[in-house]
Structure 1
Amino acid sequence: MALLDRLRPYGMVLPAIIVFSLFFIYPILYMIYLSMFDWNFISPDKTFVGLQNFIDLFQDSEFVQVLRNSTIYTVLTVSLTIAISLLFALWLNRTGIFYGFVQGAIFSPHIISLVSISLLWSWLMDPEYGLLNWVIGLFGFGKLAWLSHPSTSLISLVIVAVWKGIGFNTLVFIAGLQSIPNDIYEAAALDKSKPWRTFAKLTFPMLSPTIFFLVIINMIGSFQVFETIAIMTQGGPVNSTNTLVYYIYQYGFRFFKIGYASAAGVILLFIVGLLTILYFKLLANRVHYR
């Protein structure tokens, strides 16, 4: 009976472990296995090449540019989304029908599929008939080739990502703000603390767990961007918007270089894992946990 009692918890989590192993652990291990082979996805024969796929990747100037694009896209998207969402949250952290309506309006892009959003923004950014060029034309500016010029294409995708991500991040920030005890602000008011000082010394440190959480999930999500690139730019022009996931898709399912694509996937896995570990190691000790 004692043995059954000890085994019962393991039996309860066993289905979840099986599903997790089957759909997460096994694909990762199989991807690492395939990264050491040259395989065209059609022939049953695989040629073992060891680490040659990784060597070829880092000798490929296109892949180096893809890494640079992914890094720039992630840094801009995460920083802008966090900053703008925090400003919105500070403004909307109050009761009232108007503020509730604005919260719902800001959150609505989050529940819309990225495919629909990508099609919408493709029209908005059309160089000839797009609404954005019409609006900036009212202020005397010339038309911009939003998605068809290397200097603006990546920034255009960042705008789309920030627009979609602001709603979710804002609501999370509002939840974090509402969890801060009012007693702290009352004490600051008695000390005649200025608003900017109250924010810097009280609000921001108390929001550190929320900021920490949002930075990590936004960072991982940005490195895994695919839909907007596949629909809006297909990695162009001149490889200026190609990122890691779309690069993996290209070489895996268009060029049928499965080993090469798997090696790029291993690098993506390593980057995301390394950044997450670094964030936890370097920032966790500075986070105020309530």
Structure 2
Amino acid sequence: MASTTVAGRAVPLTRRTRQRAGSAYPYWFYLPAAVVYAVLFLLPTFASFYFSLTRWTLFDQRFIGLENFILFFQEPALVKGLTNTLIYAVVTSGLKVVLGLALAVLLTSNILATGFLRSAVFFPVLVSTIGVGITFTILMHPSRGLINDALGVLGVQGPAWLTDPSMALLSVAFVDVWKGVGLATVIYIAGIVSIPREYLEAARVDGAGPFPVFRHILLPLSWPATATVIVLSLIGGLRSFDLIWAMTRSGPGFTSDVIASVIYKQYQAGFYGLSTAGNVVLFLLVTAVVLPLTWLLNRREVQL
């Protein structure tokens, strides 16, 4: 008779137990989540691929093949939007990694009011993106903004944060980092806390200072958290739209255009099939960037 081991003892498996073990009954509990996932993600995704090949309105559609994609790649603002999207994603993800790790190291050390400081760092994540955009638009006003007023007290001439074509996109990127670094910090805190204390205690016994401990223990062993922050930040940066639109409307001119804002303008103009094709292109771009990067990051993690 077949048996299994429970608490170090061999327990025979009855016929009913074997039938229950091979039953499909537990898998039925996956069904509600699978239905929700299919309805809210899979069906809209496949529908988008289909409608990107049509010229459609709310009541009519006509199949036109790849014409929408051809027109989308002929869009004059596309090259600028693609360049800005990549710059925005790299800047925001890079700063979130660096600042998130630095804050996590600080907030897991022996300092006063750790709980309050963790809450304060995470609080911007909970605030509405549009609310943050409107607030910082006022704060960054070139002549009446609080930020430039504070710089003026220090004798520094504040720049035109959102109206200077060379600074508008980076200004929005810094606000994005301020809002999102709290999530990166929480992920890093979880990664640092999960490191076995024995490693840190052994390093202290060997006389290692803070920098060697950070370089040889915290940095490599928190790599899974780093990989997570990089992937999530890049996905958010490549898809970013709401904060940029709330603060600059892709201006001045088209200097802060990103792919998502190009798509939105096409939708506003009534070119629904063209904007759907743009969404498909954006989906493929994010996939083409994130999947290889995730594979490389996971490969690095296995080697550690």
* CA deviation after TM superposition for structure 1 residue 221, in Å: 1.4
How high is the sequence identity, in percent, across the aligned residues?
31
Secondary structure in 1 matching 2:141: coil
AA partner of residue 82 (structure 2): L
Distance 1:103 1:212 in 2: 21
Q: Is the 8 A contact 2:125 2:182 kept in 1?
A: yes
5+ long unaligned stretches in structure 2: 1-15
**2:23 is aligned with what amino acid?**
R
Name the residue aligned to 2:250. 235
Counterparts of 1:72-221 in structure 2 under 5 Å?
72-95=87-110, 97-221=112-236
Shift in Å, 1:211: 0.6
Q: What is the distance in 2 between the residues matched to 1:110 and 1:259?
A: 34
How has the CA–CA distance of structure 1 residues 17 and 264 changed in structure 2, closer, same or farther, with 3 Å as cutoff? same
Q: Which residue of 1 aligns with 2:67?
A: 52
Listed one character per residue, the Cα deviations across residues 139-168 of structure 1 (whole Å, up to 9, x for unaligned) are 323232111121111011111101001212
Moved more, 197-206 or 90-99: 90-99
Give the Cα separation in 1 of the matches to 2:189 and 2:27.
38
> Do the aligned partners of residues 75 and 261 (structure 1) sit closer, same or farther apart at CA in structure 2, a change above 3 Å counting?
same
The two structures have a TM-score, normalised by structure 2, of 0.87
Pairwise CA distance, 1:56: 2.2
What is the letter of the counterpart of residue 171 of structure 1?
Answer: V
The equivalent residue for 2:288 is: 274
Compare CA radii of gyration and give the structure with the larger one. 2
After superposition, the C-alpha distances for 1:15-69 in whole angstroms (9 at most, x for unaligned) are: 2212111110111111111111223x2551x333222222222232301111111
Contact 2:248/2:256 (8 A) holds in 1: yes
**Deviation readout 1:244-281 (Å, 9 max, x if unpaired):** 222222212x1111111111111111121122211222
Between the aligned partners of 2:110 and 2:204, the Cα distance in structure 1 is 21
- Structure-2 separation of matches of 1:52 and 1:144: 43
Residues 69, 277 of structure 2: 8 Å contact kept: yes
Instruction: Report the equivalent of 1:286.
Output: 300
CA-atom RMSD, angstroms?
2.2
Distance 1:48 1:263 in 2: 13
Match of 2:31 in 1: 14
The partner residue of 1:29 within 30, 42, 46 is 46
Q: Which residue of 1 aligns with 2:55?
A: 38
2:85 is the alignment partner of 1:70: yes
- Secondary structure of 1:6 counterpart: coil
Verify: 1:255 aligned to 2:238, yes or no: no
Structure 1 length as normaliser, TM-score?
A: 0.91
